[in-house]
Amino acid sequence: MNSTCDLFDAHSDVARVLSARLVHFGGRTAFRGPAETVACFEDIAAIRALAGSPGQGRVMVVDAGGSMRCAVTGDRIAGLAQDNGWSGMIVWGCIRDRAALAALDFGVMALGSIPSRPRRETGGHTGVSVEIDGVPVAPGDMVFADIDGVLVLPAGVTGEVTGG
């Protein structure tokens, strides 16, 4: 897999870089795939439902509004996503169960961790364009994550690097 740095250099005209504030929490620090998006705020219902569906190598991009008051995913939802073939999760918000997430062979990036969970479990929207710290991500965009950060390329751009 090409590094996000190499991909940025090769596709700088269309590449979008997500916030450097995102931190790795999962056991896998390099993952990639087409984006599937979730917009929710302090609510896990849509995330849990999506994690229970076939991932087919996609990356779940969760716009949780940047909330630092409660976690919108933890080891159970991430484990469910892993079992269903998701490549990883990018969460613009918090996670919980850090030690258990680190033991999973699954990519999870988020703003931070907190022990509290959301009180609401009623909704959210999937398959909608979201903004992660002002950077747009649409369903089908290609997401690439590694130790240097997260890069998003428009759908249809393969993410291949040629030459050297």
- Tens-place pLDDT, residues 66-102: 999 999 999 999 999 999 999 999 999 999 999 999 9
State whether the Cα torsion 157-158-162-164 is positive or negative: positive
pLDDT reported for residue 123: 84
Q: Where are the domains of the chain?
A: 4-143
| The pLDDT of residue 139 is above 70 | yes
If you ran DSSP here, which 8-state letter would residue 120 be given?
Answer: B
For 4-143, give the CATH class: alpha beta
Amino acid at 96: R
